[in-house]
Amino acid sequence: CEAHRGALLHFLDDPDNEPDPRDGSLDYFGDGLLVVLNGQVLATGPAEDLLPQLPAGTPVTDWQGGLILPGFIDTHVHMPQLGVMASYGAQLLDWLQTYTFPHEARFSDGDWARAEAQRFTDLLLAHGTTSGLVFCTSHPASVDALFEAAESRGMGLTAGKVMMDRNAPDNLTDTTQGSYDDSLALLQKWHGHGRQRYAITPRFAATSTPEQLTLAGRLAADHPDVMVQTHWAENTGEIQWISELFPERHSYLDVYDHYGLLGNRTVLAHGIHIDGRDRQRLAETDARIAFCPTSNTFLGSGLFDFRTAREAGITVGLASDVGGGTSLSMLATMAEAYKVCRLRGQTLTPWQAFYLATLGNARVLHQAEQTGSFRPGRHADFVVLDQNASPALNMKQAHSHTLADTLFNLMILGDDRAIAATAVAGEVRYCRPDGATVTAPT
Ligand code: GUN
Ligand code: FE
């Protein structure tokens, strides 16, 4: 085995259920040890207790007080949209037409798709993200490219081929039957292949014919352990368009419901402009929402109502939605989520934010037995955060005394500079290029 030493934090349960999360929903060791065997967590605990128990000669990496957390999980992100980030001056539908569809069309070139998939997985790791639920493009080769890149880095991703057979340029749309055949073939090839899992991925109701949604629903029914991902209720213009395309359905959610696409394996990105009836149906079906705050503010989509969703019993995950989103960093995503909540008169505690980005998102993806915490037997996917990574963090840490302060500083002031290292299945796959492990406080 081998071990990693540092401050160690992971969640055992949703901190919302406790007045003080240290009562039982999290474990924290100021000087902790993560013991790894064959890529999996063997034990965690105080270093002083565990070090003497290690077999002689066990390698111990000392992260010098850096904060070791389970690797971040992103519940909604687009592999082919790195180059779309920071596209100027548009709301959703114009943004898709002007920037996103032309860019995604480039992925018909397999060499380009492979190069971008490698950039994407490397960037995820550089931001401390070790797993997630990912959109590829409509081109099957983009899915092969992503899973191959993930596999070669030891990462486990859940991803799928975008199904879109109308209302997009010809060089991006697929065909109704072709999208079914390609999705089924990719599912059979990749679902359960090592750590990889397939996701049935109709882009959103506006770019699928009723026939395509029917086939997506059939795939979901035939494969009850496969995730379904799509977009929902992001933008008011989008919602108006859906009501024109599906006049026979009483709501946007009813479109997905009608075609058999709602269940506990479903992750709907956004869910901003929704009502009590929608929330009730989500709670009944246990379909999940991916809250994408940097995308929602950047595209001017609206402010997700986090508290009301939670009170309605809906499972909510946190996601970057790059390239509508402006950062792959789950720390930056937490900061934006906090601000969206503030604009709605709500607060997001640092406990909630870090829970969401780790165990909470693992639960959204039905992966909590594999990732999201350091319970024994989980994959040893972890990130080492440097609380003093930037001048601002270093300054603020000098005035901070509690774990809650440190976590809040990291989520509000932190970004990719705070990622000292990222490991997948016990292997360090990213180290900050300055070679530093963790910056000593000054
Ligand atoms: N709705 C349909 N496609 C997309 C997309 O690529 N990004 C976002 N944010 N919303 C969408
Ligand atoms: Fe998206």
Mean pLDDT of the chain: 96
DSSP, collapsed to helix, strand or coil, labels residue 347 as coil
The string over 119-149, giving b where at least 16 C-beta atoms fall within 10 Å of a residue's C-beta and e elsewhere, is ebbebbbbbbbbbbbbbbbbbbbbbbbbbbb
pLDDT surpasses 50 at 108: yes
Which ligand has its closest atom nearest to the C-alpha of 103?
A: 1
For residue 43, the cross-strand partners are: 35
pLDDT of 442 reads 47
Cα of 392 vs centre of ligand 1, distance in Å, is 34
Q: How confident is the model at residue 311 (pLDDT cuts 50, 70, 90)?
A: very high
Strand pairing category for 227-232 and 266-270: parallel
Cα of 93 vs centre of ligand 1, distance in Å, is 8
Distance CA 51, CA 341 (A): 42
pLDDT of 435 reads 62
Q: Using an 8 Å Cβ cutoff, are 298 and 88 in contact?
A: no
Q: What angle do CA 424, 223, 117 make, to 5 degrees?
A: 35
Query: Residue 304: what are its φ and ψ, rounded to 5°?
Result: -65, 135
Three-state SS for 290-307 is EECHHHHHHCCCCCCCHH
Which ligand has its closest atom nearest to the C-alpha of 162?
A: 1
pLDDT of 434 reads 77
Cα of 77 vs centre of ligand 2, distance in Å, is 6
Distance CA 336, CA 353 (A): 11
Identify the weakest region by mean pLDDT among 16-30, 207-221, 331-345, 397-411: 16-30
Evaluate: CB of 230 within 6 angstroms of ligand 1.
Answer: no
pTM for the model stands at: 0.97
Ranges of CATH 3.20.20.140 domains, the chain: 72-328
* Percent helix, percent strand, percent coil in the chain, to nearest 5: 40, 25, 35
Residue whose tokens read 């010809």 = 170
Distance CA 294, CA 326 (A): 6
Cα of 290 vs centre of ligand 2, distance in Å, is 9
pLDDT surpasses 90 at 436: no
Q: How confident is the model at residue 134 (pLDDT cuts 50, 70, 90)?
A: very high
Evaluate: CB of 296 within 6 angstroms of ligand 1.
Answer: no
Evaluate: CB of 324 within 6 angstroms of ligand 1.
Answer: yes
pLDDT surpasses 90 at 22: no
Cα of 256 vs centre of ligand 2, distance in Å, is 16
Predicted ipTM > 0.95: yes
Evaluate: CB of 288 within 6 angstroms of ligand 1.
Answer: no
Distance CA 387, CA 242 (A): 45
Identify the weakest region by mean pLDDT among 22-26, 113-117, 271-275, 377-381: 22-26
Instruction: Quote the tokens at residue 251.
Output: 């709501």
Which ligand has its closest atom nearest to the C-alpha of 229?
A: 2
pLDDT of 18 reads 65
Instruction: Quote the tokens at residue 252.
Output: 């946007």
pLDDT surpasses 90 at 121: yes
pLDDT of 130 reads 98
Out of 107, 172, 203, mutate this one to test ligand 1's pocket (max ligand atoms within 8 Å of CB): namely: 203
Residue nearest ligand 1's atom 1 by CA:
231
Q: How confident is the model at residue 440 (pLDDT cuts 50, 70, 90)?
A: low
Q: On the CB side of 30, how many CA atoms lie within 13 Å of its CA? A: 5
pLDDT of 24 reads 87
The CATH number of 2-71+372-431 is 2.30.40.10
The CATH architecture assigned to 72-328 reads: Alpha-Beta Barrel (3.20)
Ligand 1 atom closest to the CA of 234, numbered from 1: 10
Ranges of CATH 2.30.40.10 domains, the chain: 2-71+372-431
pLDDT in tens, 53-102: 999 999 999 998 899 999 999 999 999 999 999 999 999 999 999 999 99
Ligand 1 atom closest to the CA of 301, numbered from 1: 9
pLDDT of 191 reads 98
pLDDT of 405 reads 97
Strand order across the beta sheet in which 427-431 lies: 40-46, 26-37, 2-11, 60-70, 382-385, 419-424, 427-431
Cα of 348 vs centre of ligand 1, distance in Å, is 25
- The proportion of the chain whose per-residue pLDDT surpasses 90, expressed as a percent, equals 95
How far CA 95 is from CA of 20, 88, 246, 269, 432, in Å, comes to 43, 8, 22, 17, 33
Cα of 358 vs centre of ligand 1, distance in Å, is 24
Cα of 96 vs centre of ligand 1, distance in Å, is 7
Cα of 85 vs centre of ligand 1, distance in Å, is 12
Q: Using an 8 Å Cβ cutoff, are 291 and 333 in contact?
A: no
Closest CA to 204 of 277, 270, 147: 270
Determine whether 86 is exposed, middle or buried from the number of CB atoms within 10 Å of its CB (0-12, 13-18, 19+).
Answer: exposed
pLDDT surpasses 90 at 21: no
CA end-to-end span of the chain, whole Å? 34
Evaluate: CB of 204 within 6 angstroms of ligand 1.
Answer: yes
Q: What is the mean pLDDT of residues 10-38?
A: 88
Instruction: Quote the tokens at residue 216.
Output: 């997506």
Which ligand has its closest atom nearest to the C-alpha of 81?
A: 1
Evaluate: CB of 381 within 6 angstroms of ligand 1.
Answer: no
Out of 96, 136, 230, 235, mutate this one to test ligand 1's pocket (max ligand atoms within 8 Å of CB): namely: 96
Evaluate: CB of 71 within 6 angstroms of ligand 1.
Answer: no
Residues with a beta carbon under 5 angstroms from ion ligand 2: 269, 321
Q: How confident is the model at residue 441 (pLDDT cuts 50, 70, 90)?
A: low
